[in-house]
Amino acid sequence: MIYDFFPAGTYEEMRRLKESINSAFNSFSAGYPFCNIYESPEKTCISFFAPGLREDDIDISATPDSLTISIDRKKVFEEQAMKEERPFGTFRRTVNFPFKVNTEKHWAKYKNGVLRLIFERAEEDKPKKIKIN
């Protein structure tokens, strides 16, 4: 057997380490809420997928370079769960815009579990046409 080569107890320690690593990689907190980012020459659209929330549970802040979304998802039931696949707690995710945006010109809507945000490209970041004299 493979664990005949290891000192007593090492196999159990390795098994616990493997479970711990798997648990870390299966965690939703690193990439939650999931998002898609779309861009056009004039604007960028970011969609976050976060069903089952109220608008009060979502906090959004933006700079010309990035967007941060914070979610506070509370447990619905107080009873002991047999299985929980839906993440609960406070989550924070920051995504970078593909270009500088004007944070004053935006649109945001949360409907059917999808938060959609649209930001216009900042004037100073738009490509300028160069004329040849």
Each residue's pLDDT, cut to its tens digit, for the chain (133 residues) gives: 454 555 556 667 777 776 666 555 544 445 678 889 999 989 999 999 888 888 888 999 999 999 999 988 877 777 777 777 777 788 889 999 989 999 999 999 999 999 999 999 998 888 888 899 8
Q: How many structural domains compose the chain?
A: 2
Nearest to 108 by CA among 37, 52, 55: 55
The pLDDT value recorded for residue 28 is 45
Looking up residue 109, the CATH number of its domain turns out to be: 2.60.40.790
CB-neighbour burial class of residue 18 (10 A; exposed 0-12, middle 13-18, buried 19+): exposed
Tell me, yes or no, whether 132 lies in a domain: no
The pLDDT value recorded for residue 29 is 47
**What is the amino acid identity at position 24?**
A
The pLDDT value recorded for residue 7 is 59
Tell me, yes or no, whether 23 lies in a domain: yes
Q: Are residues 23 and 36 in the same domain?
A: no
Domain that holds residue 102: 31-125
Tell me, yes or no, whether 131 lies in a domain: no
Q: Which residue shows structure tokens 């299966």?
A: 26
Q: Are residues 56 and 109 in the same domain?
A: yes
Measure the CA–CA gap between 125 and 133, rounded to whole angstroms. Answer: 24
Q: Are residues 53 and 84 in the same domain?
A: yes
The pLDDT value recorded for residue 22 is 57
The pLDDT value recorded for residue 80 is 79
Nearest to 70 by CA among 29, 23, 106, 111: 29
